[in-house]
Structure 1
Amino acid sequence: MLRERMPPLTAIPLPRAVDRRLLDQRWPVRELATPPPGSGLEPVLGDAGAPVIGHALDSMRFGVDFALTRYRRYGPVSWMGAFGQRIVLLAGPDATQAALVNKDKAFSQDGWRFFIDAFFHRGLMLLDFDEHLLHRRIMQEAFTRDRLAGYLRQLGPVLREGVAAWDARPRLYWALKQLTLDVATQVFMGMRSSAGAAAINRAFVASVRAPTAIVRFPVPGGRWAAGLAGRRLLERYFRATLPAKRQAGGDDLFSALCHARGDGGERFTDDDIVNHMIFLMMAAHDTTTITSTAVAYHLAKHPEWQERVRAESLALGDELPDLDALDQLEALDLVIKESMRLTAPVPSLARRAVADTEVLGHYLPAGTLVSVSPNVNHYSPEHWRDPHRFDPERFAEGRREDKSHRYAWMPFGGGAHKCIGLHFGMYEIKALVHEMVRNYRWSVPRSYHIHWDYVSLPVPVDGLPVQLAAAGSGSRGFHGR
């Protein structure tokens, strides 16, 4: 099991008044760059923030609040200093659409490469244009409905056994993370839980936390060095295992990638498979952990929805659900979508301008690092009624607030790089929560409110402690170690 970790200092909540003062602090406003004469374009305005670190700690500490504060102050196009760079922030559905539709191919995935290439080199999300399209077409063979059905048959027993053993778990986030890692090693790699699987899991965790390190150099004991060591371990494992996967068939994703073919018979090289597996393992378990944690939190705060979700699951009977059965969990589908709106599992999407371009009439010179903010879109009062309120019915037929703009709701990204595993992710979350409501009722104190740490991807600072009770009678609890 993963050991529970103390939150980093930047994530420890301060009194709200102190938070507000930090968010409201003003820095000198400057132009990113002077627009070309006669272009009619406006400069991008913003500020560098604190010396050296810029707004890196602010953005990781305050997450949604930081993004919304910048949006209110500067509008949909602004810039900030962070990680030694000037980063343009694109917020709101219209600015998002300009970057993700990317009609003139002015934005590349090199923004992601700046942050994560050292750890997720040449993963699908880091590829551009025709090469990305080719790899995506080949990879789609691993995400057909038949393949999804096979993955679900494998993950169902892992989830059922894991959820039933939760009485000794200290914090819900960490219990969910361990479980989704177990699913990933089983379904994606065909690897049963063992000491070797535990080492693989630790390597993934180290690689995920490394990209937002302030010290971006392999200092011994630092997050960057740990991430590089994790990447090396993962490469060794996949390269050693690959020949056997090439020779034999299998139902796991690793095998699927080894045998996938494009329309013209194209196939992945060994290097391609290693790189894609490392990236997909990260993308699969982290986003699932975040979303299932958010779902569990909101169901704890809104027991009427927990009972509604439970009733649907109990109606399916005791058999492990297949895809068709999970499709019947309509209330759970609404809760998941609303939870992903309130907590986007990937709170920013990185790009880089490869040519001089414009967004909403603002000039962006070539080479500009760009960050697209789903968080702002998900809280836009122009597109969502009472956006800070938990209201799953906003996704129900007859309302469909998510249809107010193509990019009002975008937890899976958008454009050519929209998450290829989004259907797998939704089915895994549904299967996981289905097992939770069958086994337990859970609650948090009325005064409790979750606080997310954005040092890498969103993580609850306290791990989300909940009180568990058996779904029938009796009770069990989470207790810190």
Structure 2
Amino acid sequence: MAHAHTIEANPHWLPLNPKRAVEHIPGEDGWPFVGNTLKLLKDPLRFGNRMVATYGQVYRNNAFGGPTIQLVGPEANELVLFDRDRLFSSEQGWGPMLNLLFPRGLMLMDFDKHRADRRTLSVAFKPEPMRHYAEQLNRGIARAVTEWQGKPIRFYDAIKALSLDLAAESFLGMELGPEATKINKAFVDEVQASVAPIRVPVPGTAMHKGVKAREYLMDLFLREIPKRRSGDGQDFFSLFCRATDEEGKPLSNQAIADHMNFLMMAAHDTITSSATSLIMMLGRNAEWQDKLREEIASLGLNDDEGVPYGQLDRLVLTEYAFKEALRMVPPVPSMPRRALRDFEFGGYKIPAGTFVGISIAYTHRMPEHWPEPEKFDPMRFTPEGSRGRHKYAWVPFGGGAHMCLGLHFATMQVRILIAQILRRYRIELGPGAGETWQYFPIPRPRDGLPVRFVPIS
């Protein structure tokens, strides 16, 4: 199924284990062909809670085409993400879901190759480019939020469109124009294909739509590369095109296009999810709107002035609120890996070749690490509130060598967004807004989060 199909294109991957290799680990195989995929997609939090309650913090699950051993808790997160002994492959973990859609993206690389490309790409996240992006974000966000005044909107849809526009300016250095709708649909098709039950691109399936979307986007990127190499643009794309590795060699056209395809998706989809969860939490906790508004006012900005890059770090409470929203609704609820060698965890021996997953969403709500986990409490992230907490109890951006390359960009964009909204508006949610979410592949509220931004009198 999924694993077999992608392994054909990746001969260095470990062969599939026989099913009996992990039968000593308690768990459930689920229904024929689909396993527990549909149960997991329907309500992953409830499914995870039941599995841990029944089988413990190491359990066997069959979903998305094969058996996975789920490791739960901060210690599991540290083992897998920090990966001191290079036990786990990210490429072979994500590959069955993403290899037909985002091959050779940064998240689908391991060890030395990953380190080399990450170092080359990091040129776009240094202070001077980030200062440039902050100016663009302030302008773009201020322009958009003035149009949200007073009228009912679905925040998820509005911020998704805005995030794509912002990503186009900061990442691509171009206006999308009439192609914007087509480009957005292509990213949606790619992401939806990543969790499609049918894992081969048969015409008429979601995977087929995703593969065709990738072809369209790759053609878009590849057409642009030659002029970017010789230009002086300060957007991500142009910086990648001019970047060189440790030997002074530029990235190939194919590598640049592969990285852009993955990073554009990651940038606008995960920020859309994170910003939506934060707006929902602030809508439900009006006292926190007031606290953040007071903090924003303390910057002493003029009405039409954006938040200068050098002042962003002063929005401390805003950062705590964002972290708490990421705890409650992490944009990547779980992360897969594949064991390259035998290892032991939680009293079980787990053989090489096993697909392994960690549950970020579950860990973020473990009451022994997060008292009253259903309560929105940004003060958990003060130095005092964080003291003694396991370093890997909060991992919305991953950890170790694969820590999200764009985490500072994401935090910057959300700080600017909240500052631009709260200095103008009070957030009022529609009745029952955001009560149910679709958690995979990237969380989004099923109702789009109906909201009104009411001008502050």
* Normalised TM-score (structure 1): 0.86
State the 4+ residue runs in structure 1 displaced beyond 4 angstroms.
31-35, 445-449
**1:33–1:364 contact (8 Å) kept in structure 2:** no
Q: Within 1, Cα distance between the matches of 2:225 and 2:178?
A: 20
The more displaced of 138-147 and 354-363 is: 354-363
Deviation digits for residues 112-168 of structure 1 (CA, Å, limit 9, x no counterpart): 011111111100010011111111111111111111111111222111111111256
Calculate percent identity across the aligned residue pairs.
Answer: 38
Q: Is 1:121 the equivalent of 2:92?
A: no
Within-5 A mapping of 1:19-168: 33=20, 43-109=24-90, 110-167=92-149
Question: Do 1:442 and 1:467's aligned partners in 2 also have CA atoms closer than 8 Å?
Answer: yes
Is 2:293 the counterpart of 1:310?
yes
- For residue 386 of structure 1, the aligned residue among 365, 368, 372 is 372
> Post-superposition shift, 1:356?
2.3
1:278-310 per-position Cα deviation (integer Å, ceiling 9, x unaligned) = 110011111111110011001000000011112
Distance of 1:411 and 1:427 partners within structure 2: 16
Which deviations, in whole Å up to 9, do the C-alpha atoms of 1:22-53 show, x marking residues without a partner? xxxxxxxxx97468xxxxxx932111122221
Rate the CA distance shift 1:43–1:98 in 2: closer, same or farther, 3 A: farther
How many residues are paired up? 435
Quote the Cα distance in structure 1 between the aligned partners of 2:73 and 2:124.
33
1:256 aligned counterpart, secondary structure: helix
Indicate whether 1:350 and 2:328 are aligned. no
- SS of 2:173's partner is coil
Structure 2 letter corresponding to 1:366: A
Distance 2:430 2:221 in 1: 44
Q: In the alignment, what sits opposite 2:6?
A: none
Verify the 8 A CA contact 1:138 1:266 in the aligned structure 2. no
Deviation (angstroms), 1:212: 0.1
Aligned position for 2:216: 233
- CA deviations 1:188-245 (Å, max 9, x no partner) are 0011140123322221121111110012233434321111111001110011000010
The residue identity in structure 2 corresponding to 1:323 is Y
Structure 2 unaligned runs (5+)? 1-17
Kept in 1: contact 2:293–2:422 (CA 8 A): yes
Write out per-residue CA displacement over residues 354-374 of structure 1, whole angstroms, 9 at most, x where no aligned residue: 222222331222221121111
Match of 2:352 in 1: 366
Match for residue 428 of structure 1 among 413, 430, 445: 413
Partner of 2:8: none
Q: Distance in 1 between matches of 2:389 and 2:438?
A: 29
- Residue in structure 2 matched with residue 24 of structure 1 by the alignment: none
Cα distance between partner residues in 2 of 1:113 and 1:268:
22
Computed over aligned residues only, the root mean square deviation of the Cα atoms, in angstroms, reads 1.9
Q: Which residue of 1 aligns with 2:5?
A: none
Letter in structure 2 aligned against 1:160:
A
What letter matches 2:374 in structure 1? H
Match of 1:191, SS state, is: coil
Gaps of 5+ in 1: 1-30, 36-41, 473-481
Could you say if the C-alpha distance between residues 194 and 454 of structure 1 is closer, same or farther in structure 2, counting changes exceeding 3 Å?
A: same
Mapped to 2, the partners of 1:270 and 1:338 lie a distance apart of 39
CA separation of 1:176/1:449 partners in 2, compared to 1, >3 Å: closer, same or farther? closer
3-state secondary structure, aligned to 1:404: coil
TM-score where L is the length of structure 2: 0.91
Deviates more, 1:157-166 or 1:336-345: 157-166
The whole-number CA distance in structure 1 between the counterparts of 2:431 and 2:193 is 35
Structure 2 counterpart of 1:112, one-letter code: W
Between the aligned partners of 1:253 and 1:356, the Cα distance in structure 2 is 39
- 1:362-398, Cα deviation, whole Å (9 max, x unpaired): 1222221121111121111221121121111111122
Q: Which amino acid counterpart does residue 138 of structure 1 have in structure 2? A: T
Return the alpha-carbon distance in structure 2 between the equivalents of residues 330 and 455 of structure 1.
Answer: 30
CA displacement at 1:275 relative to structure 2 = 0.5
Give the deviation of 1:178 after TM superposition. 0.6
Provide, for residues 84-125 of structure 1, a one-character-per-residue CA deviation record: whole Å limited to 9, x for no partner: 201111110111211122233221011101111111110001
Do 2:170 and 2:236's aligned partners in 1 also have CA atoms closer than 8 Å? yes
Paired residue for 1:26? none
Which amino acid in structure 2 is aligned with residue 129 of structure 1?
F
Is the 8 Å Cα contact of residues 169 and 175 (structure 1) preserved in structure 2?
no
